[in-house]
Amino acid sequence: MDNDLRLDGNAAGGLLNEVFPFEMTTAETTCGGCGTMKLIGELMLYGHRMGAVLRCANCDMALIRITHIRGSYWLDLSGTRCLRIAADN
């Protein structure tokens, strides 16, 4: 059933563009669990009405959680060791 909800991280592009003024699918993240470095577009997205969870494609750790509640965006980046956004983004 989880596979029915799973997309690649590029599907989170619209939601991320609501929060960040630049292209986030090309930002590079380092997993806090296994240390794998991937573009956000290469992560696995699990989305539903309550928000989205981007997971490491290697170890399945939740790296980024994002939701929009009552006019505010809530982001949890606790699974991300490092986030690199290129200056030319």
**Which residues form the domain of 61?**
2-84
Mean pLDDT confidence for 8-22: 76
Please say whether the beta carbons of 59 and 33 come within 8 A: yes
pLDDT, one tens digit per residue, over 40-79 is 999 999 987 788 999 999 999 999 999 989 999 999 999 9
* Full strand arrangement of the beta sheet holding 62-69: 6-8, 44-48, 51-55, 62-69, 72-76
pLDDT of 5 above 70:
no
**Total domains, the chain:** 1
Query: What percent of the chain clears pLDDT 70, i.e. is strictly above it?
Result: 90
Please say whether the beta carbons of 39 and 4 come within 8 A: no
User: Does 50 reside within a domain?
Assistant: yes
User: Does 89 reside within a domain?
Assistant: no
Whole-prediction pTM value?
A: 0.79
Element (H, E) at 57: none
